[in-house]
């Protein structure tokens, strides 16, 4: 997979699609590769995306709506009501 100095991993698109779009892809990919934490059980790298914006945790089984490429966006964190921000682990899935 070719990498370049300015657009790093999105250098695989070579000269296609334009520099601006390749830089946008790079921002998305670096956020997604950072490791995403489950909202309920806080375990890392257990989230799987089942569809665009729908995430489920393989550890505790929670299914929730999130961003298209990352599980929780900045806007979603802001708009979440206070009573849902600290979800406690009630039961583990067998
Ligand atoms: Zn979980």
Please indicate, yes or no, whether residues 47 and 68 belong to a single structural domain of this protein.
Answer: yes
CA of 1 to the centre of ligand 1 (A): 32
Please indicate, yes or no, whether residues 71 and 56 belong to a single structural domain of this protein.
Answer: yes
Please indicate, yes or no, whether residues 12 and 49 belong to a single structural domain of this protein.
Answer: no
Please indicate, yes or no, whether residues 45 and 9 belong to a single structural domain of this protein.
Answer: no
Please indicate, yes or no, whether residues 41 and 64 belong to a single structural domain of this protein.
Answer: yes
CA of 56 to the centre of ligand 1 (A): 8
Distance from the Cα of residue 4 to its chain's centroid: 24
**Cβ neighbours of residue 13 closer than 8 Å, sequence gap 6 or more:** 22, 25
- pLDDT tens string, the chain, 94 residues long: the values are 677 777 888 888 888 899 899 999 999 888 888 888 888 888 888 999 999 999 999 999 999 999 998 888 888 888 888 877 766 656 555 5
Domain coverage including residue 56? 36-94
Please indicate, yes or no, whether residues 53 and 87 belong to a single structural domain of this protein.
Answer: yes
CA of 24 to the centre of ligand 1 (A): 29
CA of 89 to the centre of ligand 1 (A): 9
**For the chain, how many structural domains are there in total?**
2
């Amino acid at each position: 997979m070719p990498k370049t100095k300015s657009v790093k991993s999105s250098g695989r698109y070579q000269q296609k699609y334009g520099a601006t779009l390749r830089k946008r892809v790079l921002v998305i990919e670096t956020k997604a590769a950072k490791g995403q934490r489950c909202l309920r059980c806080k375990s890392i790298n257990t989230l799987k995306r089942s569809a665009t914006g729908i995430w489920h945790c393989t550890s505790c089984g929670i299914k929730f709506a999130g961003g298209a490429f990352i599980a929780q966006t900045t806007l979603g964190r802001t708009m979440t009501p206070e009573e849902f921000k600290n979800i406690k682990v009630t039961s583990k899935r067998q």
